[in-house]
Structure 1
Amino acid sequence: MDSVKNRKELVIDQEKTGYRYSIEPFLLADFMPLLPDQSVLDIGTGCGIIPLLLVHRESTLKVTAIEIRDSGQAQKNIHQNGMDRQISLIQGDFLKEAKNLAPESFDHIVSNPPYRKIQTGRINPDPEKALARHELSLSMSSMLDKSAPLLKRGGQISLAYPPERMAEALRELENRNLHPSVARFVHGNFLTPAKIFLISALKEKKSDFSVAPPLTVYNKDGTYSKEAESLLRPA
């Protein structure tokens, strides 16, 4: 088991085998605008990293985290960081559990969802990695079908996907009255194409769509850029 210390001794453990998080949770947690006392739903929480980062930013949040796989590691992380009061964990399939959540009860929904369609790329033989990377149990359309009714009017949904799915994401969001408000592209370095795009949309509330300045993860020498360093290991 690996332990990551982040943001002034926030401790995040993850298993050494199976699916392991990358930079996307840190990007999403920073990308999301937060206000005191907001309610947040994290779909596919994994080891609980996004709720931990969000509550560390704003301690008055109430976060519901859902994970289809064994959620023991997430529960341990929540407890060892003293966030049992702010974060509630549900182990189960979001598509089935959504009916048990109150309509229009969340100010913000966030997800770092499976990013590959079933027909694209080799499916990993490790079942945890396969679930996390391919849409075996949660497609973009099915997630948005169940997510949209749970958002309050004017509430926000934030997602991370590869850039080749941007047009699809914009279309699927608009089809559910979720109006894209801001996007951001994430590059490995300043010479490479974007690897990730972050997108936020507002429910039943249109606003001018903007593209934030790109984020570059690495400097030319392979070290973290100043902004990436501040996200991963802030002072």
Structure 2
Amino acid sequence: MLDTDHTRDALLGGLIHLEQPRRGQRASADAVMLAAAVPARAGQQVLELGCGSGVGMLCLAARVPKARIDGIELQSDLVALCARNIAANDMEDRLRVAAGDIRKRVSGITPNSYDHVFANPPYFDSLRHRASPHAGRATARSEADEADLGHWIAAMLRHAKPGGGLTLIHKTDRLADLLAALDPKAGAIRVIPLWSKAGQPAKRVIVRAIKGSRAPLTLDPGVLLHQPDGSYFPEVDAVLRAGAAFPA
């Protein structure tokens, strides 16, 4: 039975059903777009770091039905919630969540073994931004002193197999830090700006990279999200409401 602290919602036009906190960290367009940008194929092994209630894992699983996806989550209440969401969507045969700290070895999660690793790291440096008064949301959105962006990138690199893919979404103003953390252990980096509206600076970027590659960085033209009337462009709407792959 659903308690008053949680809501039950539908994602991807009803392809996914999700129980999530009424307050705190909830499903976002960023998490859905990130999952759509992971270039996973059927039969591959994928890992999400900081999977929360399971939004990214579930959305990716809906798009790539035969991928096997693991998740690591620090907050014990979200681990339990993610497990319930996996069961509610009948995906227990290929999705699983493990409780753990991304900086440490997590039981059942093998380093150097995943075809793809993806993450939506906390966006805000706690020294420069006021943390949310909600503890769970603060943990999800703000870097802790002991787990900064460098730790997230290091964990992605540690778990990807040689030649494995890395995909993440972050704020544009953290791009320099992100690229510095990837160098020199990953290459073939693609930076995909997300333009909210034409003529405005990109506030988000999706970054893809290949562990161990020496190929040069590519700056993509990016994706324009909103039309002048504020609605999503059709190809972006297809990502958010129908589970399509990201158009870049």
TM-score higher than 0.5:
yes
Q: Counterparts of 2:156 and 2:237 in 1: how far apart (Å)?
A: 32
Q: CA deviation at 1:77?
A: 1.4
Q: What does residue range 111-122 of structure 1 map to in structure 2 within 5 Å?
A: 111-122=119-130
> What residue in structure 1 maps to residue 92 of structure 2?
84
For 1:103-127, what per-residue CA distance to the aligned partner results, in whole angstroms no more than 9, with x for missing partners?
A: 3111111000101112111111111
Q: Counterparts of 2:107 and 2:125 in 1: how far apart (Å)?
A: 25
> What residue in structure 1 maps to residue 170 of structure 2?
161
Q: Counterparts of 2:208 and 2:191 in 1: how far apart (Å)?
A: 6
Q: CA deviation at 1:147?
A: 2.8
Indicate conservation of the 8 Å contact 2:112/2:159, yes or no: yes
For 1:10-47, what per-residue CA distance to the aligned partner results, in whole angstroms no more than 9, with x for missing partners?
A: 22232211111311112111211112211111001111
Provide the TM-score with structure 1 as the length reference.
0.92
| Pick aligned residue for 2:11 from 5, 27, 32 | 5
| Pick aligned residue for 1:41 from 34, 47, 51 | 47
Q: Counterparts of 1:116 and 1:98 in 2: how far apart (Å)?
A: 25
Q: CA deviation at 1:206?
A: 2.4
Letter in 2 for 1:84: E
| 2:30 equivalent to 1:21 | no
| 2:62 equivalent to 1:56 | yes
Give the % identical residues: 26
Task: Indicate the RMSD between aligned Cα atoms, in angstroms.
Answer: 1.8
Between 43-52 and 129-138, the greater mean CA deviation after superposition: 129-138
For 1:206-234, what per-residue CA distance to the aligned partner results, in whole angstroms no more than 9, with x for missing partners?
A: 23432333222221112222122111112
| 2:50 equivalent to 1:72 | no
Indicate conservation of the 8 Å contact 2:197/2:228, yes or no: yes
Indicate conservation of the 8 Å contact 1:59/1:86, yes or no: no
Between 135-144 and 77-86, the greater mean CA deviation after superposition: 135-144
Indicate conservation of the 8 Å contact 1:174/1:180, yes or no: no
Q: CA deviation at 1:99?
A: 7.1
Provide the TM-score with structure 2 as the length reference.
0.87
| Pick aligned residue for 2:205 from 180, 197, 216 | 197
Closer, same or farther: CA 96–85 of 1 in aligned 2, 3 Å: same
Q: Counterparts of 1:201 and 1:111 in 2: how far apart (Å)?
A: 12
| 2:150 equivalent to 1:141 | yes
| 2:241 equivalent to 1:214 | no
Indicate conservation of the 8 Å contact 2:9/2:18, yes or no: yes
> What residue in structure 2 maps to residue 230 of structure 1?
238
Between 155-164 and 213-222, the greater mean CA deviation after superposition: 213-222
For 1:173-219, what per-residue CA distance to the aligned partner results, in whole angstroms no more than 9, with x for missing partners?
A: 014x1114212111221132111101011111223432333222221
Letter in 2 for 1:198: I
Q: Counterparts of 2:147 and 2:188 in 1: how far apart (Å)?
A: 21
Q: CA deviation at 1:100?
A: 5.6
Instruction: Return 5+ residue gaps in structure 1 as ranges.
Output: none
Between 77-86 and 204-213, the greater mean CA deviation after superposition: 204-213
| 2:130 equivalent to 1:130 | no
Closer, same or farther: CA 194–2 of 1 in aligned 2, 3 Å: farther
Instruction: Return 5+ residue gaps in structure 2 as ranges.
Output: 1-6, 244-248
Indicate conservation of the 8 Å contact 2:54/2:82, yes or no: yes
